Amino acid sequence: MRSFRFTFAFVFILLALVAAGCASGPEKVEYTIEMTDFAFTPNTLELKVGQEVTLHLKNMGALKHELMVGHEVTTDNGIATGFVEDMFAGVEPTVTIGDEMEHDASHDHAGGQFMVTVPENTGEATLTFVVTEDMVGEWEMACFLDSGSHFQQGMTGKIVVTP
């Protein structure tokens, strides 16, 4: 009788462990990035392939700001305009600005690059995406508003993606 109860407890624990293992889908991580005139805080994020990432952007500045993530800055007559390569190429993050789901926030920048624009004075935006293999590497995040002047004043950061 005693050994029966012991076996029952053992099987139960085993089932609980298996259930816990199955329930762990993609790891979910959330970060809040504060935008100010002219910085991202924190200005470095480390992400891993497979993670479901939610970024909360809060604009505490007096000016409108945007977030773009890519490689190699493009310039037009000396003005920084965006990136040659977009970290979100082929990915459609879910974007909410304030309380509203934005359908045209993504990939609407020149060259089809992804960007999110956040209203000034405590405006908020949220984006959610899953980190893909193609994102592995080091990326720059930046705001190119006001003819690239935010970028020039240091509104940049880094996203490091590891396998």
Residues lying near Cu ion in the complex (CB under 5 A) = 65, 143, 145, 150, 155
Q: Nearest distance from residue 155's CB to Cu ion, in Å?
A: 5
The sign of the CA dihedral 40, 44, 45, 49 is positive
Q: Nearest distance from residue 44's CB to Cu ion, in Å?
A: 18
Q: Nearest distance from residue 58's CB to Cu ion, in Å?
A: 13
Nearer to Cu ion, 68 or 161 (CB): 68
The amino acid present at 114, given as its one-letter code, is F
Nearer to Cu ion, 131 or 139 (CB): 139
**Strand ranges, E, within the chain:** 28-36, 39-41, 44-48, 52-59, 65-76, 79-86, 94-97, 100-101, 116-118, 123-130, 137-142, 156-162
Nearer to Cu ion, 73 or 145 (CB): 145
